[in-house]
């Protein structure tokens, strides 16, 4: 028994330095990866915060919160030309398809419509922030996101579910009229109701035409 114990102890002593070296190398790699991820997240958060400050200023389009579902101007897109920036890559087609499928089934909305809106709004980039304050894959305004129950508009799954819910409500409001639905998604229901159709803003009419073209292409035989 003593001889066997001595041999095992000797093996442990011989193997320990190599094992410790490997564990040390792995630990260093993990620390470096964690540090790089932290720096990336910090840079993204800083960029988003800077852009968000623009529409939080008094009198800006996104200031305040909505007092009723799709009623207050604070929860609507601006009719003026809107620019979108993002410091992250687009999600993979497989990931977007998964989000679209879930949202379409949950909210009873055509998957091609949800997919086309994501492509038009953000190009599939989950951290997209517009100059008017719209956020995420489906570019929800903060007030609209709150009305929809979306706590974090930059969370991809929550954003797509919220955007699909918005589309469902607009489709119901306009009896399935895609022109008015998309016009309201871009410029707000108040402006659609006032115009009794797609508001005559170049940004909005181009938006509606682009998505309708995408839907026609998606349904065309290949």
Q: Which residues are catalytic?
A: 121
Determine contact, residues 183/192, Cβ cutoff 8 Å: yes
Give the Cα separation of 127 and 45 in Å (integer).
9
Give the Cα separation of 76 and 29 in Å (integer).
46
Distances (CA, A) of 94 to 89, 100, 105, 164, 218: 14, 10, 17, 18, 17
- A 10 A CB-CB count for 113 gives 22
Stated length of the chain: 222
Determine contact, residues 81/132, Cβ cutoff 8 Å: no
């Amino acid at each position: 028994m003593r001889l066997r114990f001595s041999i095992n102890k000797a093996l442990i002593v011989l193997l320990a330095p190599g094992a410790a070296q490997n564990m040390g190398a792995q630990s260093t790699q993990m620390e470096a990866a964690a540090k790089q991820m932290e720096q990336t997240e910090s840079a993204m958060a800083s960029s988003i915060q800077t852009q968000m400050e623009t529409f939080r200023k008094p009198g800006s389009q996104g200031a305040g919160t909505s007092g009723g579902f799709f009623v207050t101007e604070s929860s609507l897109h601006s009719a003026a030309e809107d620019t979108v920036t993002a410091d992250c890559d687009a999600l993979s087609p497989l990931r977007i398809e998964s989000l679209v499928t879930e949202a379409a089934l949950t909210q009873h909305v055509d998957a091609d419509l949800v997919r086309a809106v994501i492509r038009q709004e953000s190009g599939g980039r989950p951290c997209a922030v517009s100059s008017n304050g719209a956020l995420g894959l489906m570019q929800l305004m903060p007030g609209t996101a709150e009305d929809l129950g979306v706590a974090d508009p930059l969370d991809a799954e929550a954003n797509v579910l919220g955007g699909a819910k918005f589309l469902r409500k607009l489709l119901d409001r306009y009896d399935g009229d895609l022109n008015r639905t998309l016009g309201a998604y871009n410029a707000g229901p108040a402006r659609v109701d006032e115009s009794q159709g797609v508001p005559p803003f170049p940004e909005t009419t181009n938006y509606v035409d682009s998505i309708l073209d995408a839907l026609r292409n998606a349904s065309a035989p290949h």
